[in-house]
Structure formats: C-alpha cells, structure tokens
C-alpha cells in the first residue's frame, strides 16, 4: 500500500536557508531515508544528505525529524500518521554545509584532544588480564556508532556555541570515563575531565541518553560515575592528603 506524504525539508547553505514543502510517495516498510532518496531521484536531485550503511551502524544519517534527533535510516514511516507533515532539518548544534549535511568536525577535534589508552610501560599487549566485569563495562560504551546525536542534543553546547571550546560533550566524556575505568590505563583522566574537557558543565539532564540509538546509558553508567570519581579524588581528605604527600 502506498500513499503520498507531506515533507517539509530544510534547504540551504552558507548560513542561509528555508523550509521547502514536498509531496512524495511512500511504500510499505520504508524509512525516512528512503523518502529522501526518492526526493533526490524525482524532485530535488541536488538535495544533500549524508548516509552510508542504511543499517543504523555507520552513524552518518543523523538529522532532526519533527525536532527530534534521529537516524534517518532507522526511522520508520509507519511511526507517522499518513496526514502528518514530517519536518526534516539538519542537526542544530553543528554548522550546516548544505541542506541536511552538517560539519561535525567539532567532534573529531574533541576526539583528538583525549590521550589514547595508556597502559603501564612494563605491561605488553598480550599480558593484559582483565576481569569479565571490567570487559563488560567498557563494551557498553564501545557500542557507540559516533552519530553525535548526544552531543547535538546536549544543551551545554546546543544553545551556547561559546561553550564548545571548554566542553567535550557526552560522547567524549563517556570515552574518558571508559578509559578511567580501564584497569590498565594509567593516564590521569580525572583532573583532565574536569579541568580540560568540561565535565562540570554537565548537570545530568540525561537528554544525551534519551537520544542514543545504541541505548547506551551515557549519563548513569559513564557521566555520573566519572563525576563521583572526580569528587572522591578532590574532596576525600585521605586522598587529598595522599596526593599532597605524593606530589612533594
Ligand atoms: Fe551516538 Fe550514542 Fe555514540 Fe552518542 S553515545 S555518538 S548518541 S551512539
Ligand atoms: Fe548534557 Fe547529557 Fe550531561 S545531555 S548535561 S551531557 S547528562
Ligand atoms: Fe548508517 Fe543511517 S546510514 S546509520
């Protein structure tokens, strides 16, 4: 069964743009990305959209559908009414290159600022021995497909461009937490999370967790434990005294 859907899609580049209306055919089982491809094939050949796998695994097709961050390839048309106007806009937190394609280089810049896994110098690959519980903890975070919808929705940078310098966003604060929980990582993650990557800006609104397509519990399992680790180090009098003596 097919029907005609009404789409309102943001078109523009170079900081200028507008919403354009389209009426387009929808067939059973299709997702929003299918409809955007049909528009490219029939009515708007220059409509720009980023995608790659069409299987919810590459993280490329992030967009805002009716104001909510979603993967275009995983959003079924059957979740909308046939009379509903479906509005598709680019992610708001990142600059638009063209139409639905945003410049997400902010995220890659933040990724580069985080030192990679740092094992002790006397332990070689192949000699790591980890408890299963430590493996499982980091496996949840490793499901991330880098769609950047969590960073897109976090209010710390969504409405405050000026915070981007100081705040790595939930995706990369989660990565810091994962490394801090790794039993073989010896880099100092706690002070740098707070002082260089803006952990203190997060006030646990959990919007990041709500939009994660991999259902990673970013706030409960990464950000809150990381905050607790920082507090333990900074405000536990014994740890504080130990740090003072050790640093002499
Ligand atoms: Fe996307 Fe989830 Fe990874 Fe954030 S943590 S980038 S929402 S997959
Ligand atoms: Fe932002 Fe997530 Fe914290 S949305 S404020 S990073 S809980
Ligand atoms: Fe890869 Fe949508 S196209 S996640």
Rounded to whole angstroms, how far apart are CA atoms 123 and 189?
19
Q: Whose CA is nearest to atom 1 of ligand 1?
A: 147
Average pLDDT for 170-175: 98
Question: Best of 55, 72, 141, 149 to mutate for ligand 1, by most ligand atoms within 8 A of CB?
Answer: 149
Average pLDDT for 170-186: 96
Q: What is the pLDDT of residue 239?
A: 58
Q: What is the position in ligand 2's atom list of the atom closest to the CA of 207?
A: 4
Q: How confident is the model at residue 244 (pLDDT cuts 50, 70, 90)?
A: low
Q: What is the pLDDT of residue 118?
A: 95
Q: What is the pLDDT of residues 75-101, one digit of tens each?
A: 999 999 999 999 999 999 999 999 999
Q: How confident is the model at residue 1 (pLDDT cuts 50, 70, 90)?
A: confident
Q: What is the position in ligand 3's atom list of the atom closest to the CA of 57?
A: 4
Ligand nearest to the CA of 149: 1
Complex ipTM > 0.85? yes
Whole-prediction pTM: 0.92
Q: What is the pLDDT of residue 114?
A: 96
Q: How confident is the model at residue 248 (pLDDT cuts 50, 70, 90)?
A: very low
Q: Is the CB of 156 under 6 A from ligand 2?
A: yes
Q: Is the CB of 170 under 6 A from ligand 2?
A: yes
Q: What is the pLDDT of residue 126?
A: 85
CA distances from 118 to 55, 148, 169 (A): 33, 25, 22
- How does 139-178 read in b/e, with b if 16+ C-beta sit within 10 Å? ebbeebbbbbbbbbbbebbbeeeebbeebbbbbbbbbbbb
Rounded to whole angstroms, how far apart are CA atoms 141 and 222?
8
Q: What is the position in ligand 3's atom list of the atom closest to the CA of 62?
A: 2
* Token digits of residue 142: 């490793």
Q: What is the position in ligand 3's atom list of the atom closest to the CA of 58?
A: 1
247 has a pLDDT exceeding 70: no
Q: 247 C-alpha vs ligand 3 centroid, how far in Å?
A: 48
Average pLDDT for 3-32: 96
User: Chain centroid to CA 194: how far?
Assistant: 19
Report the run of H or E that residue 243 belongs to, with start and end: helix 237-247
Rounded to whole angstroms, how far apart are CA atoms 240 and 248?
13
6 has a pLDDT exceeding 80: yes
Q: Whose CA is nearest to atom 1 of ligand 2?
A: 154
Q: How confident is the model at residue 124 (pLDDT cuts 50, 70, 90)?
A: confident
Rounded to whole angstroms, how far apart are CA atoms 230 and 78?
45
Q: What is the position in ligand 2's atom list of the atom closest to the CA of 206?
A: 7
Strand stretches in the chain, DSSP E = 3-13, 16-26, 62-65, 68-71, 85-89, 96-98, 101-102
Q: Is the CB of 204 under 6 A from ligand 2?
A: yes
């Amino acid at each position: 069964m097919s029907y005609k859907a009404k789409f309102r899609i943001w078109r523009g580049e170079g900081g200028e743009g507008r919403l354009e209306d389209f009426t387009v055919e929808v067939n059973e089982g299709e997702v929003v990305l299918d409809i955007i491809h049909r528009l490219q094939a029939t009515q708007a050949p220059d409509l720009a959209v980023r995608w790659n796998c069409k299987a919810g695994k590459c993280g490329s097709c992030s967009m805002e559908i009716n104001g909510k961050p979603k993967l275009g390839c995983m959003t079924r048309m059957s979740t909308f009414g046939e009379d509903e106007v479906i509005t598709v806009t680019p992610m708001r937190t990142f600059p638009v290159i063209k139409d639905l394609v945003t410049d997400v280089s902010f995220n890659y810049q933040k990724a580069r600022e985080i030192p990679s896994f740092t094992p002790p110098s006397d332990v070689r690959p192949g000699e790591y021995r980890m408890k299963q519980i430590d493996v499982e903890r980091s496996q949840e975070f490793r499901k991330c497909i880098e769609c950047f919808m969590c960073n897109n929705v976090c209010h710390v940078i969504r409405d405050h461009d000026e915070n981007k310098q100081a705040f790595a966003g939930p995706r990369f604060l989660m990565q810091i937490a994962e490394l801090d929980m790794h039993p073989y990582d010896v880099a100092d993650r706690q002070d740098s999370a707070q002082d260089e990557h803006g952990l203190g800006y997060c006030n646990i609104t959990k919007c990041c967790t709500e939009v994660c397509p991999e259902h990673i519990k970013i706030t409960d399992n990464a950000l809150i434990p990381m905050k607790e680790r920082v507090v333990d180090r900074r405000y536990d009098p014994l740890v504080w005294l130990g740090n003072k003596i050790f640093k002499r």
